[in-house]
Structure 1
Amino acid sequence: MNIVLTGSVGHIGKPLAQMLIKKGHSVTIISSSTERQSEIEALGAKAAIGLFEDVEFLTAAFTGADIVYLMKPPIDFFDQNSDEEAFWVKIAKNYVQAVLKSGVTKIVELSSIGGHTATGVGMLGAHHLVEQVLGELPGNVSIKTMRPVGFYYNMMAFMPAIKNAGAIFQNYGGDEPEPWVSPLDIAETIAEEMEAPFNGRSVRYIASEDVSPNEVAVVLGAAIGKPDLKWVAITNEQFFGNLMKVGFSEQAAKGLTEMNVSRVNGVLYEDYYKHPLILGKVKLADFAKEFATIYHNKF
């Protein structure tokens, strides 16, 4: 099949492209950076360099594709003028125009846990808005919505506090397990879905392992040689204040704080547990090795 991937060669895009190419598919990777072109072509994929804001570019890139994989460009949490919801909704509307003009009828969209609602999940509510925009496409366009849970590599953000204060500080914690996922498992699941039949609209959650905050501290601590590492739950106000001190925009700090609150009150996972789930292959212990390598190289 001819498959077009947005998202360049990041944590998910690169392994996804490698998997699809290995399976014999023709892959085009869209990137906004000319510097990525050689890396994309080295994978055996075709590079399409342009901007997500350019509908005509997207249309040309999508034309002739059997399947298009849609993901949203990352947001800079430190940009004081950024508006995540407005930016992503604009990109989603561009995707809709490009899909309609190109005639694509099969889409795999990368959404997120929390995508089931626009309220009560903090910054993740923006994913729901994007799902709604794409959902306005005509019925002949099949959409597979992928909702991965929290990424292991988001734990990289714990490193400065571990180094400087000897602990992990978040506005949630304890012994209640919650799901985490590896980008490799996300890529494998998406590749699997691309080769499965498309029929209407569907939602699939993706997770690798359920582990509690306290278990995370134990596993990461052991990996980096800090067996006494603790996960410390702080107040929402303290957490928000810490984010503001390191330069987060107010919108991003508020959104992340509220997202973590939804972990505790159950809103974040209320739809997740209604769906059947097969956990992926990559476990926290596997990620901890990567975490330790980066931690020791950085500090």
Structure 2
Amino acid sequence: MSKVYVIGATGGIGNQLVKTLLSRGVQTTILVRDPSKAAGLFGESENLTVVQGDYADDAAFKQSIVGHERLFLLVQDFKNMPAIKRNFAQIAYAAGAKQVVDISSGSVSSPWRQHQIATSHYCSEEAIFNLPNRGSYVALRPTQFFSNHFFGDHQTIKFKSAIFGSAKPDSTVPWISPTDIAELAANVLTEPIEKHGDMVYSMTSEVLSGNDRAQILSRVLGKDVKYLQISAEEQYKAYVERAHFPHSVAYGFVDAGESNFQISPALSIVLHRPPQSLEAWLELNKDKF
């Protein structure tokens, strides 16, 4: 089975991906700033190689990518994302990698340069796709993660029995489980490269309003949870102060507006199971609320 190299291994999605790959017996290499953090997350495994480095450490990556056929990319630096992703992909392809799997965003399908998040991911995809003599390039385009509830909703539910947002109570937003993102990435990284080729996988499992989410939360947590609409200014302030988002990201979330996204009907084909629902994800994480 092909060796897999993972960039972004210690975040929520990368963490689940690495554990899934190791459970399947895949030889996996991760590039991390802090090897002790990786040891705490993954323990010891004969199939895991930990390389210390970061986005700017070309030397460590160039040496350690040799012998890997697959590269997984998850980069959180929105400002420098296109350059970072292009650099990693270019080095990997030149070293013999045959496939790059990139966590992009559903926002790429939004109007051109609608906000910073969409622009960063669009330019990243374009930069990798246009590399000369590249191998396979698969882009996963998830919409909002269920784990975005940890940006502040988990606290307001605990102390105010409410979730807050600037969207109208019945306005819908597209959602996907981070577990599904990690598992789809693992499937693409372990199945035949030619099967997935240059596929783009849109990832929306549920389209829910604030009221919908409040009802699901109430059912799972066994208490009455309300959705309360606040101003755009209040929502922006919450993202900046609680989630510590930079201006461009916080503004992008608030300005996204009502969703035109539809549920991705074919996800079960590549996941090999039905996508996880918000209710199921909350059941597994309800101790945090």
With the shorter chain as reference, the TM-score category is 0.7 to 0.9
* CA distance 1:172–1:31, change in 2 (3 Å): same
2:88 corresponds in structure 1 to 95
Report the CA distance between 1:148 and its aligned residue: 1.4
2:4 corresponds in structure 1 to 3
1:211 corresponds in structure 2 to 208
Verify: 1:14 aligned to 2:15, yes or no: yes
Is the 2:171–2:259 Cα contact (8 Å) retained in structure 1? no
2:71 corresponds in structure 1 to 68
One-letter amino acid of the counterpart of residue 279, structure 2: A
Is the 1:181–1:208 Cα contact (8 Å) retained in structure 2? yes
How many angstroms apart in 1 are the aligned matches of 2:57 and 2:218? 46
One-letter amino acid of the counterpart of residue 59, structure 2: E
Verify: 1:278 aligned to 2:267, yes or no: yes
1:234 corresponds in structure 2 to 230
Runs of 4+ in 1 over 6 A off after TM superposition: none
TM-score using structure 2 length: 0.83
Verify: 1:59 aligned to 2:54, yes or no: no
Is the 2:90–2:131 Cα contact (8 Å) retained in structure 1? no
Is the 2:35–2:50 Cα contact (8 Å) retained in structure 1? no
How many angstroms apart in 1 are the aligned matches of 2:18 and 2:221? 31
Verify: 1:145 aligned to 2:142, yes or no: no
2:124 corresponds in structure 1 to 130
One-letter amino acid of the counterpart of residue 209, structure 2: S
Is the 1:8–1:36 Cα contact (8 Å) retained in structure 2? no
Identity of aligned residues (%): 23
1:174 corresponds in structure 2 to 169
Report the CA distance between 1:17 and its aligned residue: 2.3
TM-score using structure 1 length: 0.81
* CA distance 1:27–1:138, change in 2 (3 Å): same
Deviation string, structure 1 residues 236-260 (Cα, Å, up to 9, x no partner): 233224445556543333222123x
Structure 1, 114-123 or 43-52: larger mean CA deviation: 114-123
CA RMSD of aligned residues (A): 2.6
Is the 1:6–1:69 Cα contact (8 Å) retained in structure 2? yes
Deviation string, structure 1 residues 75-122 (Cα, Å, up to 9, x no partner): 5xxxxxxxx32x212312321442244232211111111123542245
How many angstroms apart in 2 are the aligned matches of 1:184 and 1:249? 26
Verify: 1:113 aligned to 2:116, yes or no: no
1:80 corresponds in structure 2 to none
2:271 corresponds in structure 1 to none
